[in-house]
């Protein structure tokens, strides 16, 4: 076709290799590489390769071509096209998508801002005493928007303050002060942006769940469901032992109240008779 750009043979080979990986893999993910030093990336790639999670690094144009050519065999890859931006790599893996996301999240660590970066979330500076000594630093803090003051010979921040809102640019001035306060608002590491598991697409937000909170929620729900099942006497594998124990206690109490003699009621009936005899003896003085 006139005017259409022809791919070089080596690029065609890279696209085809990546297309094969995309079309045949069970779990395919796009990974953000922004901010990861080359040396750290190399060691991360080796570690993930050893775990059976090879990462393919290529220009975004190559990744887009590969996805477009793999869509015929695997239509569920279509949403990944919108995620190819900035510095991107392709991951092929097996296993649970949420466990994979947690594995990648564990590679990320806080890092200081240098200035010029977009805040990934609201940067909140807490109220309290700082490590600064009184001096020009107070004016620097105030100029940058920190509610700084001197109290009892110490530099304090008067209240919790959102110093940079999510998405806003972190100035060099604020970045320097945050670093001096040991506040590291950025993260460095591999960022799993989105993945496709079989025919299911998972965006980042669907994968970023708090597993501990989810487990606690399931546990609370299970306890509530068990309590309801016991309350309405609904038999299940977990409620039956409790229902049987409650029924046994009720039957035993009824048998004792009615003076019905069984192997289990005799001790309680005998004890009741002894108490009644003692009460009569006390009243009659005999």
Cα separation of 277 and 167, whole Å?
A: 83
Tokens, residue 189 = 């590491």
CB 34 within 8 A of CB 41: no
pTM above 0.85, yes or no: no
H runs (alpha helix) in 51-146: 60-70, 97-105, 136-143
Cα separation of 68 and 101, whole Å?
A: 24
Determine phi and psi for 32, rounding to 5 degrees.
-85, 135
- Of the candidates 221, 226, 192, 224, the one whose C-alpha atom is nearest the C-alpha of residue 209 is 192
**pLDDT for the residue numbered 5:** 58
Cα separation of 260 and 110, whole Å?
A: 72
3-class SS of residue 197: strand
- Which of the residues in the chain have pLDDT under 50? 1-4
**Domains of the chain, first to last:** 9-108+189-208 (3.30.70.1730), 123-185 (3.90.105.20), 214-284 (no CATH)
Strand 27-32 relative to strand 191-197, pairing: antiparallel
**pLDDT for the residue numbered 1:** 42
Burial class (CB in 10 A: 0-12, 13-18, 19+), 204: middle
pLDDT tens-digit readout, 117-164: 899 889 999 999 999 999 999 999 999 999 999 998 999 999 999 999
CB 32 within 8 A of CB 80: no
CB 133 within 8 A of CB 159: no
- Residues in Cβ contact with 101 at an 8 Å cutoff, skipping those fewer than 6 apart: 192, 195, 207, 208
Cα separation of 77 and 71, whole Å?
A: 6
Cα separation of 191 and 202, whole Å?
A: 14
**pLDDT for the residue numbered 7:** 63
Burial class (CB in 10 A: 0-12, 13-18, 19+), 47: exposed
Angle, vertex CA 108, rays to CA 106 and CA 110, nearest 5: 130
3-class SS of residue 272: helix
Tokens, residue 143 = 């100029």
Burial class (CB in 10 A: 0-12, 13-18, 19+), 76: middle
Tokens, residue 245 = 């124990």
Burial code (b: 16+ CB inside 10 Å, e: under 16) for 130-159 equals: bebeeeebbebbeebbbebeeeeeebbbee
CB 200 within 8 A of CB 125: no
């Amino acid at each position: 076709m006139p005017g259409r750009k022809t791919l070089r043979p080596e690029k065609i080979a890279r696209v085809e290799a990546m297309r094969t990986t995309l079309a045949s893999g069970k779990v395919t993910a796009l990974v953000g590489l922004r901010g990861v030093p080359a040396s750290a990336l190399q060691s991360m790639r080796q570690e993930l390769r050893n775990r059976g999670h090879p990462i393919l690094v290529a220009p975004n144009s190559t990744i887009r071509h590969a996805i477009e050519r793999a869509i015929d065999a695997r239509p569920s890859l279509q949403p990944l096209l919108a995620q190819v931006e900035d510095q991107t790599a392709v991951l092929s893996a097996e296993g649970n998508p949420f466990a994979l996301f947690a594995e990648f999240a564990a590679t990320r660590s806080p890092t200081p801002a240098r200035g010029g970066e977009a805040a990934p979330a609201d940067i909140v500076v807490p109220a309290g005493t700082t490590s600064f000594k009184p001096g020009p630093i107070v004016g620097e803090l105030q100029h940058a928007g920190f509610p700084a003051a001197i109290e009892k010979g110490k530099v304090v921040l008067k209240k919790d303050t959102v110093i940079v809102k999510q998405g806003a640019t972190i100035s060099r001035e604020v970045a320097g002060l945050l670093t001096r306060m040991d506040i590291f608002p950025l993260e460095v590491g591999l960022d799993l942006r989105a993945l496709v598991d079989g025919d299911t697409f998972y965006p980042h937000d669907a994968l970023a769940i708090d597993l501990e909170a989810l487990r606690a929620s399931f546990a609370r729900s299970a306890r509530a469901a068990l309590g309801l099942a016991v309350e309405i006497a609904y038999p299940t594998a977990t409620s039956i032992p409790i229902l049987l124990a409650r029924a046994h206690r009720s039957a035993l109490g009824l048998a004792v109240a009615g003076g019905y003699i069984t192997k289990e009621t005799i001790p309680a009936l005998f004890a009741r008779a002894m108490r009644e005899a003692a009460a009569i003896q006390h009243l009659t003085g005999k």
